[in-house]
Amino acid sequence: MPSLHIKNARVIDPANKRDAIGDLFVQNGVIVDRLSAADKKKAKVIDGTGLVACPGLVDVHVHFREPGQTHKENIATGSHCAAAGGFTTVVCMPNTSPPASNTGTIQYINDVIKRDAVVNVHMTGCITVDMKGEALAPIGSLAKAGVVAITDDGDCVQSNELMRRACEYAKMFDLPLMDHCQDHSMTVGAVMNEGIVSTRLGLRGWPNAAEDLIVSRNAILSTYTGAHIHLQHISSRNSVDIIRRAKARGVKITAEATPHHIALTDDCIEGYDPKFKMNPPLRTKEDQDEIIAGLKDGTIDIIATDHAPHTEYEKDKEFDYAPNGILGLETALPVTLSVLMRKNRFKIAKVVDLMTRKPAELLSLSAGTLTAGAAADICLFDPDEKWTYDARAGFSKSSNSPWDGEELQGRVKTTLVKGKVVYDGKNVRKR
């Protein structure tokens, strides 16, 4: 593999507190401090003038739908979306068909990843057998099979006793436990946020309390067991307050927010467009403001996309009957930059940190840094370029995005995995 010299870029590497115009050097797929004169002369040069060079983005919450739902997405197309969005490391949820609650399914998926993925893809395993919430999955065996966390994402373990035992096993095997916080008894038939808009539209509302109760439960269980519980896609302002107070007491919980929850509110549903239907639902401006405040003060640790593809014929139904979820990988960076940096005055280095170092550290992944000796997983992007997103022309098998046809600002120009270009601004290449 030829050496690589990225020059004149604004290098942002939060892990090393680096933010300056400079150069990056890559040799044999890893970051190096410098190249010899001879290697530098032969190196491939990428001109980074006007671009930001940062660690490849890291997303700990994606759905690639394989096995069993490959009409929506698969490992190959999902990883292509990731590369086009600047992501070099992603973590897949286990709500496949069948669910990834045994080592055989994990091994099958890992084999497909090795064969088809163009970025680094890691797997999670289920908390409960087949995600039924009735009996614990073989957590020790899943840990040995290489899962990086356990979760029943797409569902929520309703039994507090079962969740307590899951926490004890997760602690024993040093696995984070990721939880989709939803009290099912409060959301039967609910399709959007409970509030003024749901009342006006005549749609069944989903109260904040359905999330808040489970967030509280998880803070309590983490306190008693010492397990690391990661709270997925936080959407309620009250949940942010609960997390903030729990962290102040030293409780071992972390949390994520999605680009869509910081960018959109339930007002978007006025036209009954299923592209805006998701779980948890879009909430109010007050909820949104508190989530952004939580990202600013560290209460919420990271940005994660919850990339959830559905085919056009599945989404093209009455709002009540359409499935929850939207695409996220190809639009995450520009949407997050626009909301946090442009509208809320976050420094660009803070946004990069929320999408690189911090998610990598959260799940102990070897990613999110440009330290010498680290794999040369790099994202080069233009923070100012404006472009129109065409979901059907994207890399997913699906096109269910609320940003389809919208002008976005901030565009990925090159994505490298282990020093090899896997996305060149137009096309995805195999590693």
pLDDT at 120: 98
Local confidence band at 9 (pLDDT 50, 70, 90 cut-offs): very high
Q: What is the mean pLDDT of residues 273-277?
A: 97
User: What residues pair up with 302 in beta bridges, in sequence order?
Assistant: 256
For residue 365, what pLDDT is reported? 98
State the average pLDDT for the chain: 97
User: What is the mean predicted confidence (pLDDT) over 189-216?
Assistant: 98
What sign does the CA torsion over 71, 77, 79, 82 have? negative
The amino acid occupying position 256 is E
- Quick one: pLDDT at residue 198? 98
Contact predicate 358/298, CB 8 Å: no
Question: Are 276 and 320 a contacting pair, CB within 8 Å?
Answer: no
Count of structural domains, the chain: 1
pLDDT in the model for residue 265: 98
Backbone angles phi, psi at 411, to 5 degrees: -140, 135
DSSP conformational letter for 94: S
Q: What is the C-alpha to C-alpha distance for residues 299 and 10, in angstroms, rounded to an integer?
A: 28
Give percent of the chain with pLDDT exceeding 90. Answer: 99
Prior bond to 67 cis, omega within 30? yes
13: in domain: no
Is the residue at 405 inside a domain? no
Domain hosting residue 109, numbered range: 56-362
User: What pLDDT, in 10s, does the model give residues 35-74?
Assistant: 999 999 999 999 999 999 999 999 999 999 999 999 999 9
Q: Binning pLDDT at 50, 70 and 90, where does residue 1 land?
A: confident
Residue 1 Cα to chain centre, angstroms: 30
Structure tokens at 189: 């038939």
What are the φ and ψ backbone dihedral angles of 173, each rounded to 5 degrees?
-100, 10
Which pLDDT tens digit goes with each residue over 122-137? 999 999 999 999 999 9
Q: With respect to residue 119, please indicate whether it lies within any of the assigned structural domains.
A: yes
- Residue 315: its H or E element: helix 312-315
Strands 44-47 and 87-92: unpaired
In the prediction, which pLDDT does 193 show?
Answer: 98
Domain for residue 210, yes or no?
yes
Question: Would you report the helix, strand and coil content of the chain in percent, each value rounded to 5?
Answer: 35, 25, 40
d(CA 410, CA 177): 33
Contact 135, 111 (CB under 8 A): no
Question: Which residue among 152, 179, 306, 353 is the active-site one?
Answer: 306
Tell whether 420 is covered by a domain. Answer: no
Give Cα separations from 421 to 1, 135, 415 (angstroms).
11, 44, 6
Encoded tokens for 181 = 């916080």
CATH number at residue 111: 3.20.20.140
Long-range residue pairs from 134-137, CB within 8 A, at least 24 positions apart, any chain: 134/162, 135/162, 136/162, 136/165, 136/166, 136/169, 137/101, 137/102
Question: Is the confidence at residue 429, as pLDDT, over 90?
Answer: no
Mean pLDDT of 24-36: 97
pLDDT at 430: 78
In a domain? residue 333? yes
Query: If pLDDT is split at 50, 70 and 90, which confidence band does 284 have?
Result: very high
Q: What are phi and psi of 146, to 5 degrees?
A: 105, 10
CB 378 within 8 A of CB 416: yes
pLDDT at 431 over 80: no
> Are 141 and 116 contacting, i.e. CB atoms less than 8 angstroms apart?
no
In a domain, 409, yes or no: no
Answering whether pTM is above 0.95, one says yes
Which pLDDT score, from 0 to 100, does residue 73 have? 98
Q: Does residue 2 belong to any structural domain of this protein?
A: no
For the question of residue 390 being annotated catalytic, the response is no
- Token pair, residue 374, equals 């680290």
